[in-house]
Each structure stands twice: as structure tokens, then as C-alpha cells.
Chain A
């Protein structure tokens, strides 16, 4: 007699190679995707790992040194860094204002009732926010160069457009999730929607809106540093300019400034988060 379990097992895992085993299908799909990717891309590994490539890579890296540290150039890099910071700050600020303006029609302000004043505008606003969000900053910048011209303004507007999409969605969610009590109390007193928002909803969600905005600002500083490679101002524009002219010493300085900026922002946000959550 075969031994029997005292309690019947509740549910057996499916057999490993059965057609119902979703993990197998998942693994097979991943393997297929990865193989197909490497197969169709015809990557030039041979050229990359050849002695010739190693030598040219070495020569290329050697050209980076010494970095150009003359005071005149350093001050230009400093100004470009300030420009990058200003681009990210102004872009984030405009995005916060525009995002809040779009979050109101995009959110269900009056919970439980479908026929709010903004019910008809919700779907198109959400579509607009999704469209703004799904196009990356760099693509926006390249598009805006045509009407705004080369320079930091195109970059600022590009950051503002993409971030409006991101912040608008986040703001709409936090406005929807705010406790409804205070707004309801004002509404029963017959107070208009604008003042309900200003005096009941906004004070409750303001800290969350601020923290979302600061988080996006941190992201935007990083984005603004590289945005310029299409010609939209800041450190990136300086980088692509000097790299295009093969000024490798100057390129090295700019890369150093970029890394320093990113590391500084990382450290500051890490420190601030640690202080605030303690």
C-alpha cells in the first residue's frame, strides 16, 4: 500500500512542462525575445572586441586627458551648469502650475457623483496628460527647436511639457484621494467649486504636491544635463559642441561637471530624505 499524506495537499503545483504552466511560457517567451533581439541587431562585436578597436578605444580615452582646466573655460562650464539648473527649476515650476491646472479637470472632484462640473472634460484631459507624458523630454526638445530656436528656452519648454504630463497625473490622483469631508462640509454650505478647492482640497494635498514637485525637479536636473545634445541649452549643448569638434580635454571637463552635478543632486536628495523621514 502506498503511503498517504495525513492531510491531502490543498493544491499541487502544475507539472513543470504542462501547457498550463505559465512560468514555462514566460521563460520561453523571454528566451525567444532575447535571442531574436541579438539575432536581428547584427551587433559588431567582432569590431568592438578586436585589437584594432581596443587600440582606438585606448587612444580615444587617452585624448580625454588632461582635462581643460583653464579659468576661462571653467567659468563657461560653471555658467552652463547654472543654466542647466535654471532650466530644470523653471521647467518644473511651469509644469507644476500647468499640471495643477490640468489635474482639476482630470480628477473626479465630487466623489460618488458622475455628473460633476468637469465630467465631460475628464477623458480628453487624461488623454492629453498621457500624450504629454509618453513623449520623452528629448523628443519634445527636438520638436520645439523648430519654433523656439536653438538655446535653453527649447529645453525649458520641453522639460515643462513632459513634466506637466507626469505631474498632472500624479496631482489628479492625490486630489481624488484627498479626504472628502471638508469639501463636503463647504459644499453643503453652498460655496462655489473654486473656493471649495482653495480652502478645503488644496490645503490637504499641498504637502504631497510639493513632494511630487521636488522629486520631479530632481529628475529634471538630471534630464536637463543631457537635454542639450540636441541643441537645447545647458551642459549638454556644450558637450555636444566640443565633442563634435573633437576638443577632448574640454569634453572631459564637461563630463566631470555633469557627473559632479548628478552626484551632488543624488547626495542632497538622499540626505534631505533621510532628515525628513527621521
Chain B
């Protein structure tokens, strides 16, 4: 068999279509690249290359003297502390809002539709949770830095508000997705809402609720680093300072510490969630 017929028999029937769609995609990409001022060759201009190379070269060796390491350790602890304090305030916000807004604890819904009063009350609380959740924590932090000044208070408040909304919404979903029968039976037989919660809803959902909370704690550690960049304290603020001073060695140390911190939180949260079942 000569090569021409061999090529003809092996021809891919979908080839033309693929080429066509790829070229259409490239044409559509053009406006995106213009809108984002995407000019990768800027990265490789000699003057830019020199600055980048100097900055990256200054990463080695990382700064490892005792004084700086103590500072980094203190800031890393502050990062964890901001996340933990923020999450505990978020719980203070989320738990009452969940209990007030979940339809699993509605007495009037036991017989057909929920009464309009309680329905709208729950709906308004749900909207409140959605609003709290949908403002990014960085924006809350920017606002609170203006009000309470630089420092961890802004970070704690930002995490508390955003995570309060997230936890409240997801807690409500978890409570409503579980088996409703035990709770309804308790309430039908005259127990109060709190009793129905403690003996019907919580026993079956406690594991899921706590494992979600641990997962959120892990996320809060990650976002508390980011909040430092707008002045809310912790590792992020130090990282921002060192970057502004072009101190590559300090940046390298802090990035390594940050990666270790995230990996540690990841490990701890995974094992806790496994233990919680």
C-alpha cells in the first residue's frame, strides 16, 4: 500500500470540524485578551525581566534568623487565632439564625402549609443570611479597617459576618435534608421546639454539622491570611509589608510557613472530619 492511500484510509472524519471550532474559539478569545490587557510579552521585556529575576533571586536563601522566625511564628498564631475567633463569633451569629429560620422546626407546617406569618419571618431571616454570605469577607474587612482601624479586630469581624451567613445557610439545609419523621413525631406529641431539636434533629445531624464547621475553620484560616493584605493583621499583613519592601528572603520564608500552615489545617481538618464520621 503506498503512502497516499494509507493516509486517505486513516483520515479523521471529524478533523475539519475540530479545526473550525478551534479557530472560532481563537476569534472569540481576542476580545477577552484585549479587555484584560493580556500582553504576556510584557513579562519578557529586558527591564521587566531584570526586576523579576532580581526579586526571584532574592528568595534564596530564605531569611531564617531567630528573631524573624519568632515574628513569623507569632503572626502565624495570630492568623489561626483570627480564624478561630472569627468562626466562634460566626457560630454565635449562625446558630440562633438557623434555629429561627429552619422550616424543620415549624409547628404550623406539621399540618399542611406553613402559616403566612412564620413563613415570611423565616424568609426574611434567610435573605439576611444570603446577604451576609454574598458580601466577600475582603470587602467587609476593607470597611471595618476604616471603622476600627488596622489590626485583627477588622479581620475577626469580617470572618464572623461572612462565615455566619455561610454557616447559617448550610446548617439550615442540613437540618432540612435529614429524616424529618422523629422531629415531627416529637412536635406532634406536644414537645417544644427546643426538645424536638435536642432529641430529634441534633442526634441525627450532629456529625454532619460539626464536620462542616471544621471544614469552614480550615477555609477561615486560608482567608484570614488574605485579609491581612488589607490590613487586618496576621501573616498576610507581614507578607504584604515584605513584598512592598522587595525583601524576597522574608517573602520566601513566609510563603513556606503559610503553605505548611494550610497543609497542617488540611490534615487536622481531614482527620477530625473522619473521626466525626
Contacts and interface: CB of A to CB of B under 8 A. Distances in A.
B147 A60 contact: yes
B142 interface: yes
Contacts of A259: 134-135
B36 A142 contact: no
Given A41-B156, A226-B136, A153 B36 contact: yes
A227 to B, nearest CB: 9
Given A57-B147, A147-B52, A259-B134, A43 B35 contact: no
Interface string A203-223: 000000000000000000010
Contact of A37 (B29, B31, B80, B151): B80
B205 interface: no
A130 to B, nearest CB: 8
A1 to B, nearest CB: 33
Given A37-B80, A240-B142, A153 B38 contact: yes
- Bin chain B's interface residue count: 35 or more
Contacts of B223: 136
A174 B44 CA distance: 35
Contact of A263 (B36, B48, B81, B134): B134
A53 B154 CA distance: 13
A140 B141 CA distance: 19
A1 B173 CA distance: 51
B149 to A, nearest CB: 8
Given A37-B84, A136-B225, A229-B138, A47 B36 contact: no
A45 B36 CA distance: 42
B52 A146 contact: yes
Contacts, number: 147
A240 B239 CA distance: 19
Contacts of A40: 77-78, 81
Contacts of B146: 60, 243
B36 A147 contact: no
A233 B82 CA distance: 28
Interface string A25-50: 01000000110111011011101100
Contact of A44 (B42, B153, B229): B153
Interface string A152-183: 11011000000000000000000000000000
A223 B35 CA distance: 17
B259 A138 contact: no
B67 interface: no
B134 A243 contact: no
Contacts of B52: 146-147
A152 B37 contact: yes
Nearest to B227: A138
Contacts of A229: 138, 142, 229-230
B73 interface: no
Contact of B258 (A48, A57, A135, A225): A135
Interface in B259-275: 259, 262-263, 272, 275
Contact of A243 (B135, B142, B225): B142
Interface of B: 29, 31-33, 35-40, 42-43, 48, 51-52, 55, 77-78, 80-82, 84-85, 88, 134-136, 138-139, 142, 146-149, 151-153, 156-157, 222-223, 225-226, 229-230, 236, 239-240, 243, 246, 251, 255, 258-259, 262-263, 272, 275
Q: Which 8 A-B pairs have the closest CB atoms?
A: A37-B81, A86-B35, A147-B52, A37-B84, A152-B36, A37-B85, A226-B138, A90-B32
